Structure 1
């Protein structure tokens, strides 16, 4: 189960893979990033936005940072300006990495209580499970983005954890 070392490894991976896919997506026009490609959230752009929204939501629960605007339906609207979105994504990835460096080992014990707007009720789950959820959610939707980029003729870089460049391993 997740602990501080797991969170740190996944925060590094998250930063690497977001840079990988964002750099690949730079090869598309804004219209191509916005094109509905049949994924759950439609486009590459909207899927990137949803992942940002989800990460912001989990970090608000884990670290007390600001909650993202709106609910699940609005999660696709955070990426209107591509350069600003890229900056916001980088800032959040650095925040996640900082949290992983600083979170006390004891934090992973016990439950987290929160209100889920998606299902409209209070929930309480083990923190370890929720850390797994945050990183799994990122990976799931990045897989969708990777598939959409590939279908659009763009080839993102490596995604396998053992191939993570040394630079990211030392962040």
Structure 2
């Protein structure tokens, strides 16, 4: 048999069977295609289907605001519009930075974080840390008076702490 070679990604749709032979469990299919009748169990399969089968429709798609009927070409732009223009303004507000919060818990968490950052602030460069250990490590590595002695053999960068050199090697050169 001469079969034409397939172009594009292969899409396999898996369906979970219920007790009846020809009936599918619809609860598993939470990603329906808006252009055709296919449904998918994972977001990954849905996105792969959309990019391989409905790219033209997606480029021409528009997203309309339900409140003021402004039309956007991207869903993310519509989401941002709704957040900034139509969301109910919260009365829970941080006095120092004017950020608003949806609950007292979120405001308290924000204030606690600000307090911790203020308590763990470097006196020399004002960099803030979430822990005393992080601040101590920073002061030791960045502000100690000892001479630079740890040098990277690959790029000649110099460090005050061996731990900083190891971190550099792992991040930049992917080496231990």
TM range (shorter): under 0.3
Q: What's the TM-score once normalised by structure 1's chain length?
A: 0.20
Name the one with the larger helix percent. 1
